[in-house]
Structure 1
């Protein structure tokens, strides 16, 4: 039975009920909007001014299968990510994706493609999703991949669904491959007072014998920071920290900061990724706070220093994943960190687009002020195939 509340929050308990809800929405010409944080769906009558109906997947939060020796786990989409990590920890395993938001669910994680700082050492979320169950815009249940890595064949719909942001369907179940949990995790930071010293350190780190799992950066005025994370046994972490310190400080232009513990590392991951909590309970139906998420530039790593230097000339601080050339540009004023005016924000977006294109990269904005009509034929055909009635908001 599908439960509901006075506020019209619908909580399906299984994928069949979820399918029924979507079929009903399609028949009634209602548009469903997914929340990236809780993987809930707000339903609004097309062209009508009615209160949104929220589809809550919290009742679909169980563990379907966990063959620990096979290093895979299958869970329902409503399971909180932190709870998933707790379950994996009982077998000394982990999903090496950084998420410290207590409200983030597995479905929201996959739909928004959160990876975080450790993607440098472990890869991104797409590398760990091997099976997906979802419901499309017609209420049809479909499966992609499988529960065993070697059995995955056919079209790679798993990679397509990761980061689809709810445009293709509601994810109901996910199978992950997992990794062993390390004995220790450490984070060390280095300060550089010039672009030359910063660039020299990055070049040396490309040849290092250490194997950092985090290679991130942040800029504060003329100061450059490198944040390096390592994992393994205590002895391995100690050796790697010494190795990285020698390589980053050998030029005499870097200052080592304190080595931070795991708790600090988790908080840092939340901040640096730009993928943390951005919604409050009153915002989830409108997603109005999505505009606070930093602009994301992706350029070849060899162009990273040049890009950050050009941004600094405009008094724009940045942070991101140096190992993959990912640069986050916050929409805040450098002096007092207050939100940018709309005019300044639009100007910064246009500038960053030009900058990324000139450096063989691209820009991603989570919520455009004036989104252009979809002109990409492949994207349009995919959306029309999965959701011909435009049930899901695009």
Structure 2
């Protein structure tokens, strides 16, 4: 059945509309978003799609195609976190109401093709599709960047995951065929053309099938360490440390772990700038080594890689890839691999063989194609 037909079967009436929001891959700029830094994601063709009908009785009924059973019924005036998938949807309704927007309830059915726990922002896709639908149904008049901010607040405060603004903004604002250069301090955006196919290139996503959760303690520890570094250096955020001043800044820090975190953030911001320079000059293949540098920094300084991610990167590079790195929050999830189209099959096979040889479950590999952001379908 279609998402509309399933909705009608569940709730006994047709939806008011259907909306969709994508997951994302981050090309470069990892963990910089909660440091007021630079990021460069693009939207995937994998999406969360929601059929939604407005209610005005204070009731929120939620159903996912991935969960058996009847819809979960919640009351807006007593919403509390439950550590279930419904928190990402209910949290958006909570954030909208907390900001003074008159949301009176909804019936929601969601179907998603974004892999969960793969570092591809499945949670942000749920949040953004919910926010876009409620914005339209209640005629709130909010801009995409405002919806992204409210979705971030839902994840930070209601869900309890200390994520930055990148994932939600990417899902809400990316455009087809482009990567999004985002300054997370003021949300200034620039769409950067990113058509790899025309150049005989592909960007592979390798989902290691190792699951992670942002609300786990290690992510929060990294964020707290970055905040400690900024406070010790007397700046608002690590974004304010210029790359040219990095050595001097590191010399002022006594804590070795904080020094590593600071070094990653400052050098990663510079890597985003380098990628933009190379893409603007048409030298797309040259971004490969910059991606690989980013992985080394995430592995050695930020210390959020894992055996499976390192195996993907090392195997891909030794098999002819132009560059590779982990993407997403870390501790599992996915890696991206830049390859010539002619070598894509060979690199994929080499990674699969390496995983099998290490006794690991087979990874999921697909080509990442820059796709449209959130939108209404019907």
TM over 0.5: no
Which protein, 1 or 2, shows the higher relative CO under an 8 Å CA cutoff with sep ≥ 6?
A: 2
Q: So what's the TM-score if we normalise by structure 2?
A: 0.31
- Point out the structure with the larger helix share: 2
Structure 1 length normalisation: TM-score? 0.30
Greater C-alpha Rg: 1
